[in-house]
Structure formats: C-alpha cells, structure tokens
Amino acid sequence: MRLARLARDETMATFSQRIGVSVPTLRAMERGSQTVAIKHWANAFWALDRLADLAAVLEPKESVLDLARRAQRPHRQRASRRQA
C-alpha cells in the first residue's frame, strides 16, 4: 500500500485524511497490522482503485453448500483402546 501511495505522490497526512483514518493508523496499515478494522482497508483499496485485490483476499475458499455438506457428514470415531 505504501508503494501505491507513493506512486500517487501523496503524503501520509493527505492519504490518511482521504481514507478517514489517523496517520498512526495509516502507518500501522502500511506495516501490515492485523488490528486495523477491515473498513479502513476497504477505504484504502477503494482510494487506490484496487478493490479487485481486496475481493480476491475476501473470497470464500468453499461455497456455503460445501460447508453444509461437510457439516452433515458422519464423523469417524476411533476404536476404543481395550486392554485384553
């Protein structure tokens, strides 16, 4: 994100104001902090015209139908360890 911001020749103050976060929050985002709210990431990707990149990250790996089918499968149980 930092490289994209710099390619647009925007300062941290300007870009943080555009996406509605403080400069320390933007700094945390550029470091890859996982504590920043997803809405701030979405605003940043939108401001950089990179929403497609965010969509690829958020895309579910399994469909809802696949998840439901997996939940309904019987669970295998181990045989008990009996002592002879």
pLDDT per position in the chain (84 positions), as tens?
Answer: 899 999 999 999 999 999 999 999 999 999 989 899 999 999 999 999 988 888 777 777 777 788 788 777 776 777 777 665
DSSP state of 36: S
Overall number of domains in the chain: 1
pLDDT at 83: 67
| pLDDT for residue 11 | 95
Q: Please indicate, yes or no, if residue 13 is contained in any of the structural domains.
A: yes
pLDDT of residue 84: 58
Q: Does residue 79 sit within a domain?
A: no
CATH number assigned to the domain comprising residue 56: 1.10.260.40
pLDDT at 56 (0 to 100): 77
Range of the domain at 42: 2-72
Cα(43)–Cα(51) distance, integer angstroms = 9
pLDDT for 52: 86
User: What is the number of H-type helices and E-type strands within the chain?
Assistant: 6, 0
